[in-house]
Structure 1
């Protein structure tokens, strides 16, 4: 069921909480919301997993304050949700910007109550090129194509952004639906979170990730450079990479069957390793 959780600065975050069993927390990408994971929320509870989706501030059904779109603030929001729901030994899943926030959470909050981590097309360790980092998008392109374009015409920006979101061009209806999710975001939240994507640097956070980690990466990703996945795997001690050869940025739509299979495999391995009982599968 859905509920609102008020965090320290008075902002109310919308949280979807479905199923029973091992908690799995989903952090969405920019500028979508938790509904982008509906094809996991409809399946995983049947296999004994509790799915928790959080709309970041400014996105989906959450409040949209003028300030608070840094990775630190979003990581603190995640901590507030975990504490309010009394979550223990969770799996944290972060897609794109959500992956970046997940890494910041692991460093800033010492991985509080997170037993396993999944990074998917993560905008990390750095989303944009730097003088000492030759990977990712050009920061000027982020400024012009995402930030300034949102100031001028947000629907047009989303239409162009969507062209690079998936590799498959056969799912036009799916792309219309995803664009509708992005339009639910606030205008200023969309802009300020894009500024965070452009400017934040997570290279100093990676050593704090000490839990078993899987990294999902589409090899045809035009938004988050596939090289970023390799850099993450080299910097996170207990990490492995799962490549999606026929996927762009959003492998959960380009290769949905493989995505769900690999995710369930990862979750089941955690359950077996930690000897956590789960309800019998109800999958049809």
Structure 2
């Protein structure tokens, strides 16, 4: 399997398909590069080079006990970009991956990037604070950690079958295949990485990162996102970005790159070519 080894000795698995302008995909918690299969096939068929990696502790990357924070996530992404010598890249991040992309661009600069898109993404800040009154209480994320430690297999099943894809909404038609694929990806990774990752995605404040980014960024968010609530995320990120554009999707869930792939892919393509 293609991997790179980071400065602290962690092996990061990645996929690298095709030729042309590179699009680099950063996945959500607790998933893997496989969550981008639909997008990677779509953009590969439109003449792009597509790259996606498994975050440390996730998927096929090393199940290390340490380094599960946004600094390491951003540095690992930078290591992949440097190893592959990518230029004029477009970065696309979903959920936690959106935070990874934002932190990467702010921490390492956008010299190798031309555009970015963040989808259902965690910035600017998920947890509720005095300065972020619309965030979710810390107790919500403490509950996530407790459920994961008690039995992550059931917890992951419940997340996928419920709020992640909006399958708990009246009239929803759950896809067993989608649920099982989410569970499969989650269980491939390490429990410690996923446990620590909850703190990373919920308590990292990306406000200053967003302000630093100068390249065009498309902010895509569904207004029925039950994982990263719309009111405290997409609109705020778009305002903080120097060149941000907000696109709101009425009724779309957190996992809209999967359940609404046709719409999301078309809008991403239009943004990239625009």
Partner of 1:280: none
TM-fit CA distance, 1:112: 3.6
Alignment of 1:28-177 (within 5 A): 28-144=27-143, 146-162=144-160, 163-168=162-167, 169-170=172-173, 171-177=175-181
Partner Cα distance (1:131, 1:185) in 2? 34
In the alignment, what sits opposite 2:21? 22
Do 2:6 and 2:12's aligned partners in 1 also have CA atoms closer than 8 Å? yes
Quote the Cα distance in structure 2 between the aligned partners of 1:262 and 1:221: 18
TM-score when scaled to structure 2?
0.94
1:225 is displaced (CA, Å) by 1.2
* Residue 40 of structure 1, CA deviation: 1.1
Check if 1:247 corresponds to 2:252. Answer: yes
User: Conserved in 2, the CA contact under 8 Å of 1:137 and 1:223?
Assistant: no
Task: Provide the secondary structure at the position in 1 that maps to 2:45.
Answer: helix
Q: Structure 2: give runs of 5+ residues left out of the alignment.
A: none
Q: Deviations over 1:7-52 (max 9, x none)?
A: 1111110010011111000000000011001011112111110110
Q: Which runs of 4+ in 1 moved over 4 A?
A: none
Q: What residue ranges of structure 1 are gaps of 5+ in the alignment? A: 270-284
Paired residues for 1:196-207 under 5 Å: 196-207=200-211
Aligned to 2:271: 266
CA RMSD of aligned residues (A): 1.2
Residues of 2 paired with 1:202 and 1:253: CA distance? 25
Give the stretch that moved more between structures: 211-220 or 169-178: 169-178
**What secondary structure does 2:2 align onto?**
strand
Matching residue of 1:217: 221
Q: Which residue of 1 aligns with 2:197?
A: 193
Deviation at 1:252, TM superposition (A): 1.2
Count the aligned residue pairs.
267
- Which of the numbers 257, 261, 264 marks the counterpart of 1:256? 261
Q: Is 1:230 matched with 2:258?
A: no
